[in-house]
Amino acid sequence: MAWIMLIVAGLFEVAWSTLMKYSHGFTRLWPSIGFVVTLVLSMGLLTAATKHLPLGTAYGVWVGVGAVGAAVLGIVLFKEPVTAARIFFICLLIASIIGLKATSH
């Protein structure tokens, strides 16, 4: 259950980072409210997951899921550049997330 909470927390991290972009410096009401809500949910689930998982593993996976998700959404939603190097490093992040999961107890 802790791993599920952690992955969902990472997905909420993707949501709040995307909403932060859509808020245009917190000048748009609804994206700003969505940012706060998803930030609180993300942190709450991360906190709950760390009760059962090592802190370094949980935090690393949370950041990794958020970074991969934000990078992919940046490419899809905001037309950020797609380069071989970006794809390579996104894949490295995914490999790191899998490695942390595989080596945790």
- Tell me the pLDDT tens digit for each residue of 35-57: 999 999 999 999 999 999 999 99
State the residue range of the domain holding 12: 2-103
| Predicted local confidence at residue 81, as pLDDT | 96
CA-based end-to-end distance of the chain? 14
| Predicted local confidence at residue 104, as pLDDT | 86
Instruction: Compute the residue count for the chain.
Output: 105
Task: State the DSSP string of 14-75.
Answer: HHHHHHHHHTTTTTSHHHHHHHHHHHHHHHHHHHHHTTTS-HHHHHHHHHHHHHHHHHHHHH
Tally the domains of the chain.
Answer: 1
Enter the pTM of the model. Answer: 0.92
Residue pair 42/12 in contact (Cβ under 8 Å)? The answer is: yes
- Tell me the pLDDT tens digit for each residue of 64-94: 999 999 999 999 999 999 999 999 999 999 9
Task: For residue 63, name the pLDDT band (cuts at 50, 70, 90).
Answer: very high
